[in-house]
Structure 1
Amino acid sequence: MKNILSKYSPAGTLYFIGSMLILLAIWQLVTFVTKAEIPGPLATWAVFSEMLADPFYDYGPNDKGIGIQLWSSLKRVFIGFSLGSLVAIPLGLIMGSSKIGMKLLNPIVQILRPVSPLAWFPLGLLAFKASDQATIFIIMITSLWPTLINTAFGVSTIPADHKNVGKAFGFSRWKYITKILIPFSLPHIITGLRLSIGIAWVVIVAGEMLSGGVGIGFFVWDSWNGLSLEKILSAILIIGIVGLLFDKIFNVLQKTFSYESK
């Protein structure tokens, strides 16, 4: 962890601030070009501040604070992402360690991977008879592919020398998995998880727009129906910030468990 923290520098913070200033300048330019039809940063901040003043109010099914909306989305993402990972990692280990497994499963992966989450939603409704479970289903089915593919790649690229060491020392299958296969492929697995959580967070917005109820996606759609562009932009900022935090968390994990650094 000390090595990771040492990589952060004031220069990185300055670059981030500069990036945010560029974003705000572009945003303000769009507001100017559209003659304020798209609210600017100041107008959006005023509404955003009001939303944060009481984020957990609950006045009924269609009138809940942004904190409740965000928490509902995070729960769905966590459940769907976890279920997808539980499917993806074992299948990836099988595909990467077995040529027969790769030949049998890879065509299925390549057929199902490009399918849009919106195409899966009706099947989720049919299977689970509830929009909430259907949303979790589409998160699971669309977010598992990066983890599966990266896991399979990591396992398949284990050097022959590593395998020979296991054979020379008479490693059992379990010891080979825990001492060689998992440590070497773990950075690739975390890379897949990092990509998968990003997809899960993208999919939740589309899923909740279709399913309704409570969630950040529903909040965006409800704000559009209420003609509140400031709330929509505020929600976009929240979605982006949460996505950035997810990426940073998995970036730290990726560096922590880097095989090369050990």
Structure 2
Amino acid sequence: MSAVMENIMGDNAKPAAEAPAAVRGAEAANEARAATPAPAAAPRAARRRIAGSGAFMRIVPPLLGVAVLVLVWQIIALKNSSFPTPLATLQEAISMFSDPFYRNSPNDQGIGWNVLASLQRVGVGFGLAALVGIPLGFAIGRVQFLSAMFGPIISLLKPVSPLAWLPIGLLVFKSANPAAIWSIFICSIWPMIINTAVGVQRVPQDYMNVARVLNLSEWKILTKILFPSVLPYMLTGVRLSIGTAWLVIVAAEMLTGGVGIGFWVWDEWNNLNVPHIIIAIVVIGVVGLILEQALVALAKAFTYEQVSN
């Protein structure tokens, strides 16, 4: 009887003796899990490092570039007393932009009016070039006969400097303003024609075969197949044209006179006002950059990328 009781007591005592070991194992496992970092912590830290590196590359290198430019500018100003320092130019710019739209006389207006006058000429000439160049590019790309007919003419006239066309404009229009617009038109039209025609010629032949099988009209082919496919090429031509147009208008206005940023630069040179010339150069660059980036954003919005399987 006592042996049986001892056996029973021994069997009941075993779990009690083994329980502390099991508890200790569970506690050790919990401690190990607590000590182990969360799986998302490492990727989150890596993402923060990548974001910080990206912000560093976006901010610091441009600032260093500007600092180098200002340093070189300061050195040139120290070597040449007639050249204004960055600080003197900044003070003059603050004074100028405090009232950019004053108007004392037709030949004495603020820089804001001159920029707007130049933009107006660019807008008219560029718009006319788009109205003529884009449809002509579609026609040249679509019809082989027109491509062969206009190809030599475009190759001959495209390398001609836009300012070489200015005397022709003065001779034909008898006025400086239409002549400047004519120069913008003739320099803006070539990139639009060429890029649009190339875009039409690079439309996949399978698309045209499907259109032929479905017996689509030429209007349906133009609006449903050609235009969506050619749009990125066309916008690239437009972007190139606007940059060229803004370059040409400054030089054309120096020769034709009147109100405009080009004439304003030339007038300030005649007055030996070098700080104003430097300010005008910066303004011309900023306006050109804004026009360029606006069209780049437009082109990206309408550019379709093929998704790989």
TM-score by length of 1: 0.91
Higher relative contact order (CA 8 A, sep 6+): 1
Residue 16 (structure 1) shift? 3.9
Instruction: Please list, as runs of the form range in 1=range in 2, the aligned pairs for 1:171-186 lying within 5 A after superposition.
Output: 171-186=216-231
Q: Which runs of 5+ in 2 are unaligned?
A: 1-53
2:275 to 208, 217, 230: 230
Partner residue of 1:161? 206
Partner residue of 1:45? 90
Partner residue of 1:97? 142
Deviations 1:161-208 (A, max 9, x none): 221222233322111111110111100110000000000000011110
2:170 maps to 1:125 = yes
Residue 74 (structure 1) shift? 0.5
Partner residue of 2:196? 151
Q: Which sits farther off after the overlay, 20-29 or 46-55?
A: 20-29
Cα distance in 1 for residues equivalent to 2:119 and 2:158: 23
- Residues 261 and 107 of structure 1, relative CA distance in 2, 3 Å threshold: same
Write the letter of the residue equivalent to 2:246: W
Q: Which sits farther off after the overlay, 86-95 or 238-247?
A: 86-95
Q: Which runs of 5+ in 1 are unaligned?
A: 1-8
Cα distance in 2 for residues equivalent to 1:161 and 1:26: 57
Partner residue of 1:4? none
Cα distance in 2 for residues equivalent to 1:230 and 1:143: 31
2:255 maps to 1:210 = yes
Cα distance in 2 for residues equivalent to 1:175 and 1:132: 40
Cα distance in 2 for residues equivalent to 1:27 and 1:121: 34
1:31 to 77, 84, 90: 77
2:233 maps to 1:188 = yes
Cα distance in 2 for residues equivalent to 1:70 and 1:48: 15
8 Å Cα contact 1:183-1:259 kept in structure 2: no
Cα distance in 1 for residues equivalent to 2:225 and 2:63: 41
2:265 maps to 1:220 = yes
User: Looking at CA atoms only, which structure, 1 or 2, has the larger radius of gyration?
Assistant: 2
Q: Give me the identity figure in percent.
A: 47
8 Å Cα contact 1:154-1:189 kept in structure 2: yes
Q: How many residues align?
A: 253
2:58 maps to 1:12 = yes
Residue 90 (structure 1) shift? 1.1
Write the letter of the residue equivalent to 2:179: A
SS in 2 for 1:260: coil
Deviations 1:37-91 (A, max 9, x none): 3323222111111110111111112211001111100100000111111111011
Q: CA RMSD in A?
A: 1.7
Write the letter of the residue equivalent to 2:227: I
Write the letter of the residue equivalent to 2:205: A
Q: Which sits farther off after the overlay, 209-218 or 40-49?
A: 40-49
